[in-house]
Amino acid sequence: MRFDTVIRNGTVVTASDTFVSDIGIKDGRIAALAAELTDADEVIDATGLLVLPGGIDSHVHLDQPSGNGIVMADDFDSGTRSAAVGGNTTVLAFCMQEKGQTLREALKVYHAKADGKCHVDVAFHLVVTDPTPDVLGQELPALVEDGYTSLKVFMTYDGLRLRDDEILATLDAARRTGALVMVHCENEDAIRYLIGRHEEEGKLSPKAHATTRPIAAEREATHRALSLAEIVDVPIVIVHVSNREAMEEIRRARQRGQKIAGETCPQYLMLTADDLDQDAMEGAKYVCSPPPRDKESQEACWEGLEQGVFDLFSSDHCPFRFDDPQGKLNDKGKRNFRWIPNGIPGVATRLPILFSEGVMKGRITVNQFVAMTSTNHARLYGLYPRKGTIAIGADADLALWDPNSRVTLTNDLLQHGADYTPYEGLEVQGWPVRVLLRGKTIVGKAAVAVSEAGGTYLSRERSSLVVNRSF
Residue from 60, 221, 305, 318 that binds ligand DUC (CB under 6 A)?
A: 318
Which whole-number Å values give the CA distances from 437 to 15, 42, 413, 441, in the listed order?
19, 15, 20, 6
Question: Closest separation between CB of residue 289 and ligand DUC, Å?
Answer: 4
* Site pattern 267..306 for ligand DUC (x: CB under 6 A): ----------------------x-----------------
Q: Which is nearer to ligand DUC, 133 or 159 (CB)?
A: 159
Residue 119 interaction partner, one of ligand DUC, Zn ion, none, beta carbon < 5-8 Å per kind = none
Closest CA to 347 of 8, 28, 54: 54
Q: How far is the CB of 150 from ligand DUC (least distance, A)?
A: 13
Instruction: Report 235-274 residues binding ligand DUC (CB under 6 A).
Output: 240
User: Can residue 316 be called a binding residue for ligand DUC (CB under 6 A)?
Assistant: yes
* Contacts with Zn ion, residue ranges (CB under 5 A): 184, 316
Torsion of CA 195, 210, 95, 236, to 10 degrees: -100
Beta-strand pair 55-60/18-26: unpaired
184 binds ligand DUC (CB under 6 A): yes
Q: Closest CB to Zn ion among 290 and 352?
A: 290
Q: By CB under 6 A, tell whether 129 contacts ligand DUC.
A: no
Report the partner that residue 57 touches, choosing among Zn ion, ligand DUC, none (CB closer than 5 to 8 A by kind): none
Q: How far is CA 219 from the centre of its chain?
A: 21
Instruction: Considering the complex, state which of residue 122 and residue 318 has its C-beta at the smaller distance from ligand DUC.
Output: 318
- Give Cα 4 to chain centroid, integer Å: 31
Length of the chain: 471
Shortest distance, position 343 Cβ to ligand DUC, whole Å: 4
Q: What is the DSSP pairing of strand 55-60 with strand 427-437?
A: unpaired
- Report the distance separating Cα 406 and Cα 422, nearest Å: 18
Check if the beta carbon of residue 232 is closer than 8 Å to that of residue 175. Answer: yes
Assess 397 for contact with ligand DUC (CB under 6 A).
no
Residue 88 contacts which entry, ligand DUC, Zn ion, none (Cβ below 5-8 A, type-dependent): none
Rg (CA), the chain: 21
Nearer to ligand DUC, 23 or 318 (CB): 318
Instruction: Name the binder of 343 from ligand DUC, Zn ion, none, CB < 5-8 A by kind.
Output: ligand DUC
377 is an interface residue for ligand DUC by CB under 6 A: no
Give the up-direction half-sphere exposure of residue 107: CA atoms within 13 A in the CB hemisphere: 18
Closest CB to Zn ion among residues 394, 418: 418
What are the residues whose beta carbons fall under 8 Å from the beta carbon of 391, sequence distance 6 or more?
14, 30, 33, 385
Q: Which is nearer to Zn ion, 29 or 184 (CB)?
A: 184
Q: Give how many residues touch ligand DUC by CB under 6 A.
A: 8
Cβ distance to ligand DUC smaller for residue 160 or 372: 160
The nearest distance, CB 36 to ligand DUC, in angstroms, is 47
Q: Between 22 and 263, name the residue whose CB sits nearer to ligand DUC.
A: 263
Does 162 help bind ligand DUC (rule: CB under 6 A)? no
Site string for ligand DUC, 27-66 (x = CB under 6 A): ----------------------------------x-----
For residue 169, the minimal CB distance to ligand DUC (Å) is 21
Helical pair 215-232 and 244-255, crossing angle rounded to 10 deg: 20
**Cα distance between residue 463 and residue 471, in whole Å:** 12
Residue placing its CB nearer to ligand DUC in the complex, 240 or 434: 240
Burial of 133 (0-12, 13-18, 19+ CB in 10 A): exposed
- Interface with ligand DUC in residues 185-244 (CB under 6 A): 240
Q: Which of residues 60-99 bind ligand DUC (CB under 6 A)?
A: 61
The terminus-to-terminus CA distance of the chain in angstroms comes to: 27
342 sits near ligand DUC (criterion: CB under 6 A) = yes
Minimum distance of Zn ion from residue 392's CB (angstroms): 34
**Cβ contact 283:276 at 8 Å:** yes
Q: Residue 62 — φ and ψ, nearest 5°?
A: -135, 135
Contact 171, 236 (CB under 8 A): yes
Indicate the burial class of 67 (C-beta count within 10 angstroms; 0-12, 13-18, 19 or more). exposed
Q: Interface with ligand DUC by CB under 6 A: which residues? A: 61, 184, 240, 289, 316, 318, 342-343
